[in-house]
Homo-oligomer: A and B are copies of this chain.
Amino acid sequence: MTGTGTGPPKRDTYRHGDLRRALVEAGTDLARGGGPDAVVLREATRRAGVAPSAAYRHFADRRALLGAVCSAAQAALAVAMEGELAKVPNRGDPATRARARLRAVGTGYLRFAWAEPGLFRAAFSASEDLRDAASPARAGEGGLTPFQILAAALDGLVEAGVLPRERRPGAEFLAWSAAHGLAMLLIDGPLRGLDPVQARDVGRRLLDMVEQGL
C-alpha cells in the first residue's frame, strides 16, 4: 500500500515492489467510490506514488486495469455470497435447507449490491462472457465465482428434489436475471432512494418469485 496514505509518496527503492497490486487496489478504491467511470488511470498512479506511464508496464491500457478491478470486485461479491451462505444452519430437512441456501445466495448478492454499489457496478462493467465467469481471479475464498456459487445452489435444489431435473439447465440465468435486475434498479435505476426496509422487502418478494417460478 505504498503511497496510499497521506504525505508525499516516498519510496526507498527505485522499484516499487508490487505496482500491479497497488494499482488494482487504488483502482478498486476508486470504483468503490464512484463506479467504473471513477477508475481513472492517472489517479490510480498518483495514489500509488508513481508516474502515469508506469501503469503501462503492467496494463495494456485503462480497460485492462478496469478489467483487473472488475475481477477483484467479483471476488468480493463471491466472498459476500459465501458469507451469507455460511449462516445457513446445517440441520433440518434437505429440501428446506437447499431452498435456504438458494435464498442465501440471492440475499448475499443483493446485500452486496446495496452495501457496495460502486464496486457492484464495477464488477459488471468490463466485458466478459461465460468463459470469464469461471476465471479464478473472480473467485471468493471457496474458489468459486459468483456464477458458480449460484450454480451450486441450484444443483443442491435438484439433489434435494425441490427442482425437477429437466428444469435445471439454464436456471442460473433466470435466477441471476431477477437478482441482477433488482440490484440495478435499486442502486442505479428508478428504485434508488428506497429506504432499507422497503428494499429488503422487495428483495424478499423477488426471491419468493424466483423460488416459486423456477
Q: Which residues of A contact B (CB under 8 A)?
A: 37, 124, 127-130, 132-133, 147, 170, 173-174, 176-185, 188-193, 201-202, 205-206, 208-214
Contacts and interface: CB of A to CB of B under 8 A. Distances in A.
Most B-side CB within 10 Å, residue of A174, A182, A190: A190
Contact of A190 (B133, B179, B183, B210): B133
Nearest to A130: B190
Contact of A202 (B174, B191, B209, B214): B174
B129 A192 contact: yes
A180 B185 CA distance: 8
A176 B185 contact: yes
Nearest to A173: B202
- The A contact surface, by secondary structure, is helix
6 contacts: A124-B184, A128-B190, A173-B182, A174-B182, A174-B206, A177-B206
A145 to B, nearest CB: 10
Contacts of A202: 170, 173-174
Integer count of this chain's copies in the complex: 2
Contacts of A133: 190
B176 A178 contact: no
Contact of A180 (B170, B184, B192): B184
Contact of A185 (B177, B210, B211): B177
Given A180-B181, A182-B177, A184-B180, A128 B205 contact: no
A129 B190 contact: yes
A53 to B, nearest CB: 24
Contacts of A37: 37
Given A127-B192, A176-B185, 5 more contacts: A173-B202, A176-B181, A177-B181, A181-B182, A208-B213
Nearest to A192: B129
A124 B188 contact: yes
Nearest to A128: B190
A170 to B, nearest CB: 6
A192 B132 CA distance: 12
